[in-house]
Amino acid sequence: MLPSRALSFQYRAEVDQLRMAVDSGGTAVLSQVLTGIGGLGKTQLAADYARTAWDSGGVDVLVWITASSRSAITASYAQAGVEVLAADPGDPEQGARAFLAWLEPKTGQKPCRWLVVLDDVADPADMRGWWPPVSPHGRVLVTTRRREAALTGAGRRLVTVGLFTPPRTPPPTSPPCSPRTTAKSQPTRSTASPRTWGTCPLPWPRPPPTSSTRT
């Protein structure tokens, strides 16, 4: 499940680094790895990135994978397979493999823009065979405390997260303008993962919008 935004969440320079890497045209880096010691807010940065990508309409399918162990990775992919492909919940391995195969770009089909977040990769060896496929329409974001070369293969870009330093705000040079209040309602969406309301081609009728593919 996509974590709720922390009440104390603060804007950080790493937010721009993640977005600029994707928005840089033909040189875009579609797979990125957030690394740093525990307690620095890597998961919150990843959740903010994912939430922004979804709310801006930048992705059609958003999947949050708990990656703290190989069994957790398999279970998360399998759940995505159940929700997206109606895979058999009694065969997690097959459901997980089917979902990864579904992410592969298909000739003649409408491109499906997807984002897979692999949160808290504890051991890079657990990812062997479970990396999402390379696709011009897909993005991958990893959070981890590790820095092994295995995490940065296949074009994945390392982003080091350091201690948060509050930005300095210069003192005002003129009296503030008269205050105005602007209210803007925000739509409420389920943050269940994987999100599957659908513009992507699915092999069965689209499910009601209770989890996550865009309508």
Lowest-confidence region among 115-124, 136-145, 176-185: 176-185
Amino acid 36: pLDDT: 83
205 C-beta neighbours (distance < 10 Å), count: 7
The Cα 207–Cα 213 span in angstroms is 9
Q: Give the containing element (helix H, strand E) for 22.
A: helix 13-22
What domains are defined for the chain?
Answer: 27-160 (3.40.50.300)
Q: Examine the pLDDT at 9 and tell me if it is beyond 80.
A: no
Indicate the pTM of the whole model: 0.70
Q: How far is CA 116 from CA 49, 59, 138, 173, in A?
A: 11, 10, 8, 45
Query: What per-residue confidence (pLDDT) applies to 212?
Result: 59
Cβ–Cβ < 8 Å for 206, 84: no
* pLDDT value at residue 40: 72
User: Which tokens sit at 76?
Assistant: 């998360």
Query: Mean of the per-residue pLDDT values for the chain?
Result: 75
